[in-house]
Structure formats: C-alpha cells, structure tokens
Amino acid sequence: MSDRNIIVIQGLTKVYKGGVDVLALNDINLDIKEGEFLAIVGPSGSGKSTLLNMIGLLDTPTSGTIYLKGQDVTKATADQRARLRNKELGFVFQYHHLIPEFSALENVMIPLLIAGKSKDEAQTRAFELLEKVNLTDRINSRPNQLSGGQNQRVAVARALANSPSVVIGDELTGNLDTKTSNLIYDLLRELNRKLNQTFILVTHDMHMAEKTDRILRLVDGKIVCELRRKGDGFVESDVCDLGENGQKVTRVGQSLDLE
C-alpha cells in the first residue's frame, strides 16, 4: 500500500427521491490509499451498495465530491465516466453477470475489446488473467459448465482485464460456501499485493476482515466505525461495533474474535 490517496471522498450525500426521500448516504468523508484492501460492512440498507455505486461511477451523488486519482469525477461528462469505468475500475458483483453464450476466455476478452485491443491481444491477455485466477484448464467452458466459485473467478479475471486502479466488489461471495469464499478472498488479497491495485469490497463475511487493511462499518448512511491494520496485522482500535446484531469485535492477538 502506498501513502498516496487514490480516492478522496468529501461530504458525499445521496438522497433517493421518490414518494418518500431516502437519505442513503449522509455526509461521508473517506480517503482510500493506493493499493489498499478495504472492507465495508454494515446492516442491509445501510448504504453500502450506494457508496460503491458512487465510487464505481454507476450513479451520481446528490452532493459532495469524489476524486479519483486527483480528478473530480462528479464533474465528469457521461463519456468521461464511461471511459473511466472501462479503464480505471473493475467490478465484481454478487451474481457473476457473465454472458452465458460465451466461454470463460471470451467473457474476459470483452472489456479488452471494448478498450480497443485487437482480438489477438485480447485473447493473450485474457489467458494470462485466467492463469492468475487458476482457471487455465477451463478457458473454453461456458458459465453453466462451471461452479459458482469458478464463475466468480472468471468474473474477477474480467474485472482485472484492463488493469484497473480500483477493483470494487459488492457481496461477491454472497452465493458461495465458506470454503470457496475464503479461497476467493485469499486470491483477491494475493492479487492486491502482487498488482498493488486498490480493492474495495462490501461483505457480510467477517472472515474477510482478517485479510483486510481496514474495515468500515456503515449504519444509516454514515461511517460509524473504522478498524485499521497496523504493522504486521494488528488492528488499531479496541472495541468496535461491527457485528450485524450489535456484536462487539475485538482484536485479540492476531485473530479477530466475534463476541
């Protein structure tokens, strides 16, 4: 992780207008470092996806500013935002959203082709990416021929295709068993360390907390708690309300215990 901020969020507020207005994000201030591996937790409806959608330029805030690599993206045009999404951001969602008629290789090639790579270049790069997620033996398989975990690994490879600065995951292991989830998190952590890309992951899974640099807890659109890793794996904060039902989470030695 470097000392440089890749994302700076200032006074970010989102109100969904409707019959009743919903204040989904309430004045969020947050700096994210280049190469950081960040988890966002919090109860359902607390604004986690809304925050990711803002960072991922999938939606626009009601007020506040987001800087990505120093650029105020809230002022970007629709074209600029689309280009930034393709080049700087990688997305992995709960459902893999792979194209069913396409092979693993072809699915990973799509963002490369969109970015203007030739078919040969895209193919070579897609193969390398599938190698990184340990799927070279399944490059010709279609999503319905792969397990949930394998499809999510294809989705990770696709997210990394254009070497994005920031990879965003929303409950990306929500459908997977614990063992497969852990494998995916280990893989993401390894990629994060190797490639120095920033990872921002929304999760319900506290096992993931073990692997992060920082955990933020959102409640009612506000960051109510922040745990930071320090040195070789300790989190600097005594007690923090991170659990779904108000459980207290305390760092004890190297392990994060849920009480």
Residues binding Mg ion (CB under 5 A): 48-49
Q: Which is nearer to ligand ADP, 49 or 197 (CB)?
A: 49
For residue 198, state whether it binds ligand ADP (rule: CB under 6 A). Answer: no
Q: Are 228 and 235 in contact (CB under 8 A)?
A: yes
Q: How many CA atoms lie within 13 A of 64 on its CB side?
A: 21
Measured CA to CA, the distance from residue 54 to residue 166 in angstroms comes to 13
Indicate whether 35 belongs to the interface with ligand ADP (CB under 6 A): no
Q: Which does 217 bind (CB under 5 to 8 A by kind): Mg ion, ligand ADP, none?
A: none
Which of these, 162, 30, 149, lies nearest to 90 by C-alpha position? 162
Whole-angstrom Cα distance, residue 150 to residue 127? Answer: 15
42 binds, among ligand ADP, Mg ion, none (CB under 5 to 8 A by kind): ligand ADP
Q: Torsion angle of alpha carbons 96, 118, 162, 203, nearest 10°? A: 0
Considering only 3, 44, 79, 252, the residue that binds ligand ADP (CB under 6 A) is 44
Please select the residue that binds ligand ADP; options are 3, 18, 194, 252, rule is CB under 6 A: 18
Residue 77 contact among Mg ion, ligand ADP, none, beta carbon within 5 to 8 Å by kind:
none
Among 50, 103, 150, 192, binds ligand ADP (CB under 6 A): 50
| CA–CA gap between residue 245 and residue 236 (Å, rounded) | 22
Binding site for ligand ADP (CB under 6 A): 16, 18, 22, 24, 42, 44-50
